[in-house]
Structure 1
Amino acid sequence: MNVPMRVPASAQVTDIRVQEADFDLSRELAALRAGDGRVGAVVSFVGTVRDLNEGSAVSEMELEHYPGMTEKALEEIVAQARARWPLFGVQVIHRVGPLKPLDQIVLVACSSAHRGEAFAACEFIMDYLKTDAPFWKKEQTPEGARWVDARASDDSAKRKWAEA
Structure 2
Amino acid sequence: MSDQDGSAGLEAVLIAHRQQLLRFLDSLGAGDAAEDLLHELWINLHARPTAPIGRPLSYLYRAAHNLMRDRYRSARQARLRDRDWHQLTAPDEIEPGPPAIERAAIARQSLDRADRALMALEPRARTCLRLHRLEGASQKEVAIALGVSLSTVESDLRRAYAALLAAKAELDLE
Compute the TM-score of the two structures, normalised by the length of structure 1: 0.26
Q: Identify the structure with the greater strand proportion.
A: 1
Compute the TM-score of the two structures, normalised by the length of structure 2: 0.25
Query: Who wins on radius of gyration, i.e. which is larger?
Result: 2
